[in-house]
């Protein structure tokens, strides 16, 4: 493989990492509070707001049931409004964030709901405010599960980011399609797949390791 | 024991009369609204009047579903009464909003059956949690948490996570945490129900010493008479949301009036008949047999030589079937089951003799 091709692979990898990192950060920034709210706003819960809870729940489901490739196309006007263009890595970040945010919210909601209600009760008995309960009990106790959720979201984003390549999004998917598929260069395709596999493995094992380190329910010997 | 953990609310506050109630329930009822279609509303408590004297230990005993958990949760406002008033340390808790309750909750510590420790925090940090919530600085938190870990005997476990602690150690962390904000009242919600007998004993000893040395008022709920017996001064028996019996532990243990109380006591010393005796006992007279009589020795008479006097004065042949002398709430309490000839005159004379000495008697059956 020529140095030029290697150069392309390296650039595409960096593009992918950049897209995924920014999209994951933004989606976490928005999805984490949304997930916490979804988990605590049901009837009789900390921030009881059942109507809002149902509306947000519906929006989350609607976004999640839209196939990613359709979502990318459907929000092109919004993407253009936000970043001024609908092609390239910068533009790809918008649909990636919007797809990952409800995904993260649902996963975080599940993680928070797994926290023993007895702990919430104990915190209430100590005189904790709802925000203190979230910050000092729910999030720290759910953290190992949240880390695994974010890991899953990042892995999914790696897959999605390859898909935005199909609509001119840049990154590894774009490289694979333009060189591997359209120019009949199976070796480029193979390298793209291998790099993606390595990235997914790295993300997953880092996430697993971090989650285990944070999980004080396990005995560390 | 360090003096620095003496509850502040007792110091410097207007001195309360010693009879003042730390917790008072006035005509308290609680009904849980029906959940879902076709479900009926559940009446958990009805017409509860109960006062826990300041500095005392009151144990509420009841079967599961009797309403005891609801009762204890009304004290710190985790639940609200449907009607009636709950007054804690002069504050009417039942009328406070959530914000007002947070303040009261810092004066009321709570210990839970399943400890409810945060798995993500060490023993030290679990005890520190209520202080962080109260907004104390790091140094002040350290000044309070260290002596508390000493008090509960876990100074060497301060950096351990709950998963590394035994059940008893976890409950000790739970108790230290409940004491962190220097409350005047401690609520114990089945604190020993998940522990083995030996650990239970040590936790109850700890609660008793906290009551004695720190002057905390303790309200505990349990389904075991042995717990009441080990720490409580007063006991209230709850059934179907009502208090069916309430009094001094010694009185209730030695003269239980309500059937529920009796059934709770049935396995306690002095109330349980040994199996060999239970098998021999018949409800109807046995031809040529004898009457089995239970005599309860309470307090000052518990160690008097009454049997030999009875035998001498009435010329009776008494046969001892079973017996025990025990201590309840620091006072001696004895039980004897004796058999005497089944003749009405003899029996009446014996009962009169014992009644004259203020002993409780009960014919429990007949033996061959």
ipTM of the complex, rounded to two decimals:
0.88
How many whole angstroms separate alpha carbon B21 and alpha carbon B24? 6
Six token digits for residue B288: 């040529």
Higher pLDDT, B67 or A1: B67
Burial of residue B82, with CB atoms counted within 10 A of its CB: 0-12 exposed, 13-18 middle, 19 or more buried: middle
**Global pTM?**
0.85
Best probe of the B interface among A122, A124, A133, by most B CBs < 10 A, is A122
Contact residues, chain A, for B110 at CB < 8 Å: 122, 125
**A120/chain B closest Cα distance in angstroms:** 9
How many whole angstroms separate alpha carbon B48 and alpha carbon B29? 7
Closest CA to B238 of B257, B252, B223, B227: B223
- pLDDT at B149 (0 to 100): 96
Taking any CB pair shorter than 8 Å as contact, residues of chain B touching chain A are 76, 78, 101-106, 108, 110, 112, 114, 116, 118-121, 129-130, 132-134, 161-164, 177, 181, 187
**B132/A136 touch (CB, cutoff 8 Å), yes or no:** yes
Six token digits for residue B92: 């009417």
- pLDDT at B308 (0 to 100): 83
Nearest CA in chain A to B178: A126
Distances (CA, A) of B169 to A125, A212, B223, B265: 21, 24, 22, 29
How many whole angstroms separate alpha carbon A149 and alpha carbon B289? 77
**A15/chain B closest Cα distance in angstroms:** 37
Q: pLDDT tens digits for A192-215?
A: 999 999 999 999 999 999 999 999
Contact residues, chain A, for B116 at CB < 8 Å: 116, 118-119, 121-122
**A118/chain B closest Cα distance in angstroms:** 6
Nearest CA in chain B to A133: B133
Contact residues, chain B, for A125 at CB < 8 Å: 76, 78, 105, 108, 110, 187
Burial of residue B171, with CB atoms counted within 10 A of its CB: 0-12 exposed, 13-18 middle, 19 or more buried: buried
Whether the Cβ atoms of residue A138 and residue A120 lie closer than 8 Å to each other:
yes
Per-position DSSP letters for A13-75, written without gaps between them:
HHHHHHHHHHHHHHHHHHHHHHHHHHHH-STTSTT--HHHHHHHHHHHHHHHHS-HHHHHHHT
Between chain A and chain B, the number of residue pairs with CB atoms below 8 A apart is: 66
Q: pLDDT tens digits for A95-105?
A: 999 999 999 99
What letter does residue B27 receive in the DSSP assignment? Answer: E
Q: Give the pLDDT of chain B (368 residues) as one tens digit per residue.
A: 444 444 444 333 344 444 578 999 999 999 998 777 777 888 899 999 999 999 999 999 999 888 899 999 999 999 999 999 999 988 999 899 988 999 899 999 999 999 999 999 999 999 999 999 999 999 999 999 999 999 999 999 999 999 999 999 999 999 999 999 999 999 999 999 999 999 999 999 999 999 999 999 999 999 999 999 999 999 999 999 999 999 999 999 888 899 999 888 887 766 778 888 888 888 888 887 888 888 888 866 666 778 888 888 888 888 888 888 888 888 888 888 888 888 888 888 888 888 888 888 888 888 87
Six token digits for residue B159: 């950096």
Best probe of the B interface among A126, A134, A141, A218, by most B CBs < 10 A, is A126
């Amino acid at each position: 493989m020529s140095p030029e091709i290697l150069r392309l692979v390296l650039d595409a990898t960096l593009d992918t990492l950049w897209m995924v990192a920014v999209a994951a950060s933004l989606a976490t920034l928005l999805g984490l509070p949304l997930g916490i709210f979804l988990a605590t706003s049901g009837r009789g819960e900390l921030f009881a707001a059942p109507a809002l809870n149902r509306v947000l729940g519906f929006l989350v489901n609607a976004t999640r049931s839209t196939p990613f490739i359709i979502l990318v196309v459907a929000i092109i006007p919004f993407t253009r409004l936000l970043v001024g263009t609908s092609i390239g890595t910068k533009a790809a970040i918008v649909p990636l964030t919007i797809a990952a945010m409800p995904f993260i919210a649902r996963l975080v909601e599940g993680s928070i709901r797994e926290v023993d209600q007895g702990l919430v009760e104990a915190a209430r008995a100590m005189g904790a405010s709802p925000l203190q309960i979230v910050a000092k009990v729910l999030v720290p106790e759910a953290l190992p599960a949240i880390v695994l959720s974010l890991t899953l979201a990042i892995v999914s984003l790696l897959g999605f980011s390859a898909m935005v390549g199909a609509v001119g999004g840049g990154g590894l998917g774009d490289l694979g399609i333009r060189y591997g598929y359209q120019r009949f260069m199976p070796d480029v395709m193979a390298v793209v797949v291998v790099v993606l596999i390595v990235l997914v493995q790295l993300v997953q094992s880092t996430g697993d390791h971090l989650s285990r380190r944070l999980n004080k329910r396990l005995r560390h010997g | 024991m360090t003096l620095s953990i003496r509850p502040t609310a007792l110091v410097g506050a207007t001195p309360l009369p010693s009879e003042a109630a730390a917790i008072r329930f006035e005509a308290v009822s609680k009904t849980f609204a029906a959940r879902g279609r076709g479900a009926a509303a559940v009446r958990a408590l009805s017409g509860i009047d109960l006062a826990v004297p300041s500095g005392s230990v009151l144990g509420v005993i009841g079967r599961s579903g009797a309403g005891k958990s609801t009762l204890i949760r009304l004290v710190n406002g985790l639940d609200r009464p449907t009607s009636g008033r709950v007054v804690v340390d002069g504050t009417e808790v039942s009328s406070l909003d959530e914000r007002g309750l947070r303040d009261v909750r810092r004066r009321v510590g709570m210990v839970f059956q399943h400890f409810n420790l945060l798995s993500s925090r060490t023993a030290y940090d679990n005890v520190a949690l209520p202080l962080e919530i109260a907004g104390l600085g790091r140094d002040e938190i350290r000044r309070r948490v260290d002596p508390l870990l000493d008090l509960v005997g876990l100074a060497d476990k301060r950096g351990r996570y709950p998963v590394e602690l035994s059940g008893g150690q976890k409950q000790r962390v739970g108790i230290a945490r409940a004491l962190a904000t220097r409350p005047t009242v401690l609520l114990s919600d089945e604190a020993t129900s998940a522990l083995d007998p030996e650990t239970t004993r040590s936790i109850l000893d700890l609660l008793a010493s906290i009551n004695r040395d720190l002057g905390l008022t303790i309200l505990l709920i349990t389904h075991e008479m042995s717990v009441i017996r080990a720490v409580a001064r007063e006991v209230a028996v709850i059934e179907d949301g009502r208090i069916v019996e309430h009094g001094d532990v010694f009185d209730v243990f030695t003269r239980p009036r309500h059937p529920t109380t009796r059934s709770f006591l049935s396995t306690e010393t002095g109330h349980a008949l040994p199996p060999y005796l239970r098998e021999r006992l018949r409800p109807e007279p046995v031809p040529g047999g004898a009457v089995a009589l239970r005599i309860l020795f309470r307090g000052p008479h518990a160690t008097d030589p009454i049997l030999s006097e009875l035998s001498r004065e009435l010329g009776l042949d008494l046969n001892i079937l079973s017996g025990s002398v025990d201590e309840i709430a620091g006072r001696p309490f004895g039980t004897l089951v004796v058999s005497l000839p089944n003749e009405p005159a003899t029996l009446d004379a014996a009962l009169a003799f014992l009644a004259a000495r203020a002993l409780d008697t009960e014919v429990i059956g007949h033996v061959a």
